[in-house]
């Protein structure tokens, strides 16, 4: 007996930031039921697929009842009776139904919710793990990066770099590396307290002390790693996400960064200074604004043979933009987020493209 999609049903729920988001249930003809909730970032790039929000006064305009209704009507009607086992076809039906280049009519949050729910239902129906259903078992546990100090859009302090992370370098196992991070996290908390700052948390769960500069944050990370009994750059390393679009001013084409107004060259020289002063930094994400490809390329040319240069806001998990980034040698790695592109199949295409160009 062939299995088909009986219906997809959405509702408005709340995410970890207490913002409305879309939850979707997918029902198959063999009795399988799955559920998905759509993630959303606090800082988003202008090239991302469009989240459909209601506007108006309810929930600060962030309600998603329009997106929910689009799932329950148009998308449900279009997918009813279709096989759940061809993810690319399911996603293309919704992309064509939407009819816009950025999923703005139906909402990327509506489309992604259904895309994820159907993928999960298909895997469950075949009695397979989701990762096996989507990509087989040629996988390994990742190098983890742990967000421990917040700034920029994620905290109300004087730091303009958005996220500072730590990652285990020397480890005998995944667990051993994770324990090093846990020990460093607690040591960092005591370092912050001893310096006279509070240890309240920012939007991404990292500490958000009221520091005045990114250098202060990096020095605290050095102290935290050392206090935990580890060597920076040998046992535990540092990474950061500058999220430079958040401090780039398009009116004067300058970076308004922690009391300075810098052009691209001055910003590049600042990063050079940081990387020399803090050799334990092994990864930098979005060092320049999402449309400042020229300076982003210069950053990769200067530092790409030494550190991981991560593109996020300027490629947005979009295969077309990733192809352009590869051609222009913009970066040597990319961030993957389902909500940036809006479907499971397009995300998998982007991952495959990145792997082929390592």
Q: 299-335 pLDDT, tens per residue?
A: 999 999 999 999 999 999 999 999 999 999 999 999 9
**pTM of the entire structure?**
0.90
Output the six-digit token pair for 293: 């490809």
Higher pLDDT, 237 or 18: 237
Its CATH class, for the domain covering 5-134, is: alpha beta
Give the tens place of pLDDT for each residue, 45-74. Answer: 678 899 999 999 999 999 999 999 999 999
Q: Is 15 helix (H, G, I), strand (E, B) or coil?
A: coil
Rounded to the nearest 10°, the torsion over CA 58, 62, 65, 68 is -160
Q: Is 49 helix (H, G, I), strand (E, B) or coil?
A: coil
Question: Measuring CA to CA, which residue among 79, 70, 72, 137 is closest to residue 105?
Answer: 70
Angle, helices 293-303 vs 264-277, to 10°: value is 30
How large is the average pLDDT for residues 170-189? 95
Output the six-digit token pair for 6: 């009986």
pLDDT of residue 158: 79
The answer to whether domain 146-314 has CATH 3.40.50.2000 is no
| Phi and psi, residue 189, nearest 5° | -60, -45
Instruction: Give the active site residues.
Output: 204, 337
Residues in a beta bridge with 240: 164, 284
């Amino acid at each position: 007996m062939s299995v088909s999609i009986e219906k997809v049903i959405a509702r408005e729920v709340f995410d970890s930031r207490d913002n409305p988001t879309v939850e979707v249930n997918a029902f198959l003809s063999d009795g399988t039921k799955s559920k998905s909730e759509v993630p959303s970032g606090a800082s988003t790039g202008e090239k991302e697929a469009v989240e459909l929000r209601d506007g108006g006064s309810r929930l600060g305009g962030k309600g998603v009842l329009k997106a929910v209704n689009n799932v329950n009507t148009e998308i449900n009607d279009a997918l009813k009776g279709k096989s759940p086992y061809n993810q690319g076809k399911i996603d293309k039906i919704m992309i064509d139904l939407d009819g816009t280049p950025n999923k703005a009519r139906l909402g990327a949050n509506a489309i992604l919710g259904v895309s994820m729910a159907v993928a999960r239902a298909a895997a469950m129906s075949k009695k397979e793990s989701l990762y096996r259903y989507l990509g087989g078992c040629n996988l390994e546990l990742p190098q983890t990066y742990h967000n421990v100090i917040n700034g920029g859009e994620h905290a109300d302090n004087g730091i303009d770099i958005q996220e500072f992370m730590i990652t285990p370098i020397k480890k005998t196992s995944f667990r051993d590396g994770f324990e090093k991070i846990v020990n460093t996290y607690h040591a960092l908390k005591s370092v912050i307290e001893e310096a006279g700052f509070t240890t309240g948390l920012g939007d991404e769960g990292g500490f958000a002390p009221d520091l005045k500069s990114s250098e202060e944050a990096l020095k605290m990370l050095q102290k935290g790693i050392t206090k935990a009994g580890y060597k920076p750059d040998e046992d535990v390393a540092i990474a950061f996400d500058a999220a430079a679009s958040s401090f780039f001013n398009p009116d004067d084409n300058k970076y308004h960064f922690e009391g300075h107004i810098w052009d691209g060259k001055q910003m590049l020289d600042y990063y050079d200074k940081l990387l020399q002063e803090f050799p334990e930094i092994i990864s930098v994400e979005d060092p320049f604004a999402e449309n400042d490809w020229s300076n982003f390329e210069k950053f990769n040319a200067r530092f790409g043979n030494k550190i991981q240069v991560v593109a996020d806001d300027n490629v947005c998990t979009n295969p077309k933009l990733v192809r352009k980034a590869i051609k222009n040698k913009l970066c040597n790695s990319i961030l993957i987020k389902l909500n940036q592109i809006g479907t499971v199949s397009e995300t998998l295409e982007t991952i495959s493209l990145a792997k082929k160009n390592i």
